[in-house]
Amino acid sequence: MTSTPLQDNASQPVVSLRRVTRAYGDGHGTVVALDDVTVDIRRGEFTAIMGPSGSGKSTLMNVAAGLDDATSGDVVLGGATLSQLDDNARTTLRRSQVGFVFQAFNLVPTLSVAENIRLPFELAGRRVDAAERQWIDHLVRTLGLADRVGHRPSELSGGQQQRVAIARALASRPAVIFADEPTGNLDSRSSREVLTLLRTAAREYGQTIAMVSHDPVAASYADRILVIADGRLVADHGALSPQQISDLLIGFEVGAA
């Protein structure tokens, strides 16, 4: 598909996968983790990616973010086709366009909360400007971390650590945030806080978010639900209730290898 110069940039997808396949290994041991997937992650939307264990959700996220290479097909991130970039260019693009939130928080233990949140700027080799400092202060306050900025991650609860990870992802206003099971290690109250925060970031700040989750309650916070089974995209829905999502998933758990 060709894009025309008249098209509004705001309506362009942030990430496009075009017939993307990712196979691991070769010969008899080949595992096709992603099988001919075509999908857009749309700007300003909170998208949930669901599916059985081993269905290819993390692979989809890693390939879409340029952390892993597609075996065939194209990934377009922030207007650039990833396969046409060398490793350095891809790393630079990722640092400017993508934020990550993982199940295991991935905070640097030796850095304070404030230093962890500023890490993406350090990695990109640039200073936090005045507007960004205000934004970070706003995030820290909104996330209830104001009295924790000097603490180390080990001094925080799991929910607080995940809020720091989300503040870090939001701080540089990346084109897209990928979150892989961000509530996987949290109790239900902390999960609700984190999910509300992600939804608010999409609705109020226009932040594009793609979240991998097994949990129908978590996915019910999203604007859109994608289901992957055996490496293929098998469902693409608007917002659904937890019950509707459970019903949708039941059809795909059965028969999944």
Ligand X SMILES: Nc1ncnc2c1ncn2[C@@H]1O[C@H](COP(=O)(O)OP(=O)(O)OP(=O)(O)O)[C@@H](O)[C@H]1O
Binding site for ligand X (CB under 6 A): 24, 31, 33, 51, 53-59
Joined tokens for residue 86: 């060398």
State the Cα–Cα distance between residues 73 and 77, nearest whole angstrom. Answer: 13
- Region of residue 41 (phi > 0: left; psi between -120 and 50: alpha; otherwise: beta): beta
State the Cα–Cα distance between residues 75 and 65, nearest whole angstrom. Answer: 9
Q: How many residues bind Mg ion (CB under 5 A)?
A: 1
Tell me how far, at minimum, the Cβ of 55 lies from ligand X, in Å. Answer: 4
Q: Which of 179, 163, 182, 162 is nearest to 65 (CA)?
A: 179
> 220 contacts which partner out of Mg ion, ligand X, none, CB within 5 to 8 A by kind?
none
> 205 contacts which partner out of Mg ion, ligand X, none, CB within 5 to 8 A by kind?
none
Contact flags string 1-40 toward Mg ion, x per CB under 5 A: ----------------------------------------
State the Cα–Cα distance between residues 99 and 198, nearest whole angstrom. Answer: 12
Tell me how far, at minimum, the Cβ of 118 lies from ligand X, in Å. Answer: 30
> 51 contacts which partner out of Mg ion, ligand X, none, CB within 5 to 8 A by kind?
ligand X
Cβ-based nearer residue to Mg ion, 185 or 200: 185
How many Cβ atoms are within 10 Å of 235's Cβ, its own excluded? Answer: 17
> Exposed, middle or buried by CB within 10 Å (0-12, 13-18, 19+), for 44?
middle
Looking at residue 252, its amino acid is F
> 53 contacts which partner out of ligand X, Mg ion, none, CB within 5 to 8 A by kind?
ligand X
How many Cβ atoms are within 10 Å of 42's Cβ, its own excluded? Answer: 17
How many Cβ atoms are within 10 Å of 121's Cβ, its own excluded? Answer: 18
Residue 58 interacts with Mg ion (CB under 5 A)? yes
Tell me how far, at minimum, the Cβ of 31 lies from ligand X, in Å. Answer: 5
Cβ-based nearer residue to Mg ion, 61 or 75: 61
Tell me how far, at minimum, the Cβ of 225 lies from Mg ion, in Å. Answer: 17
Cβ-based nearer residue to ligand X, 5 or 25: 25
Binding site for Mg ion (CB under 5 A): 58
